[in-house]
Amino acid sequence: MLKSKEAPQHVVAFGGGTGMSILLKGLKEAVSDITAVVVVSDDGGSSGELRTLYNMPAPGDLRNVIAALSEADPKLLSLLQYRFDDAILQGHSLGNLAMAALTKIEGSFENAVKALCQLAKVKGQVIPMASQKLALVATHQDGSKSTGEVTVSKSQKPIVQMCLLPEPSPASKACLQAIENADLIVFGPGSLFTSVIPHLLIPGIVEALDQCSAKIIYVSNIMTEPGETTDFNLSDHVESLFRHGLNRLDAVLCHNGEIPEELENKYQLSGSQKVLPHLLSPNIKLWVENLLELGDVIRHSSQRLSKSLLGRYQELLVL
């Protein structure tokens, strides 16, 4: 592991879904100050139901991030992550229900997140991307639109532009302060158009990124996602980030290593391909490493990802 003086002390991560939880589990062992800014526009499953019923942001990704950064008793984490599989609560996780209850008790969604973080003894800070109920809207190449994260993910149409409805409120002071103080800012891994890009659509985020002194890194998914990023290589991912407002990247980290043939074939049958490390911009450093966690699914290894990010960070300091 890096010596403390060589590692970034203040890291801000933008994302959502499984990818963000994997990233944070590795980083929390080596970084003293982590801020996770989490997407809240999921409209499927338990999150979607509670979002509609209580007119609140989606809690699911936040719950997973809180669990990833928690240093509480494992029994409490099991409780938060418990998902009912029968009767009236079927499909709901207890953590999502707790977030809905805390929103009522604490008077706001942001206060509910803070309260759950305290209960779960979170290492670092977890901030929702927005404190209002928002819908993702994708505009496709043929001019049609898809509304809602689930619909966007299933559209099977190339995406030209994303927006949020209604017009989102400006980024929170806590988020902007974290960006200002950051040494390292990480986007991804996660679904490009539904977990990563939405952060760039919040007023104030791009401007804060432009003004900050932190190094900015994008971690690419290992595989493309059918519909969202079909046939995308690494340059396509980066170009999409720039098209949605990001003005600079210092480096891109991409997996390049052997994937078990049987597992890769399984993904290919669903229309998913390995993201090829083709990057056209000479001004962005390309880091290519084996980041795979061996198992039944293709995903990043928390330890490999964290080690690579923190080790490579030093290269950016001499530029």
Is residue 307 one of the residues assigned to a domain? yes
Instruction: Judge contact between 178 and 144, C-beta under 8 A.
Output: no
Instruction: Judge contact between 181 and 215, C-beta under 8 A.
Output: no
Is residue 152 one of the residues assigned to a domain? no
- Taking the CA of residue 257 as centre, how many other CA atoms within 13 Å lie in the half-sphere pointing to its CB? 16
Give the Cα separation of 310 and 308 in Å (integer). 6
Here the CATH number for the domain that contains residue 34 is: 3.40.50.10680
Within 8 A by CB and 6+ apart from 78, the residues are: none
Q: pLDDT tens digits, the chain, 319 residues: what are they?
A: 344 456 788 999 999 989 999 999 999 999 989 999 999 999 999 999 999 999 999 999 999 999 999 999 999 999 999 999 988 999 999 999 999 999 999 999 999 999 999 999 999 999 999 999 999 999 998 999 999 999 998 888 889 999 999 999 999 999 999 999 999 999 999 999 999 999 999 999 999 999 999 999 999 999 999 888 999 999 999 999 999 999 999 999 999 988 999 999 999 999 999 999 998 888 999 999 999 998 999 999 999 999 999 999 988 987 5
Q: Residue 315's CB: how many other CB atoms inside 10 A?
A: 13
Exposed, middle or buried: residue 26 (CB in 10 Å: 0-12, 13-18, 19+)?
Answer: buried
Q: Could you list the residue range(s) of the whole structural domain that residue 103 is in?
A: 43-121
Query: Residue 282: its pLDDT value, please?
Result: 85
Query: Residue 194: its pLDDT value, please?
Result: 95
Domain boundary among 55, 89, 121: 121
Same domain, 184 and 281: yes
Within 8 A by CB and 6+ apart from 165, the residues are: 134, 135, 137, 147
Task: Count how many domains the chain has.
Answer: 2
Same domain, 103 and 220: no
Exposed, middle or buried: residue 225 (CB in 10 Å: 0-12, 13-18, 19+)?
Answer: buried
Query: Residue 155: its pLDDT value, please?
Result: 87
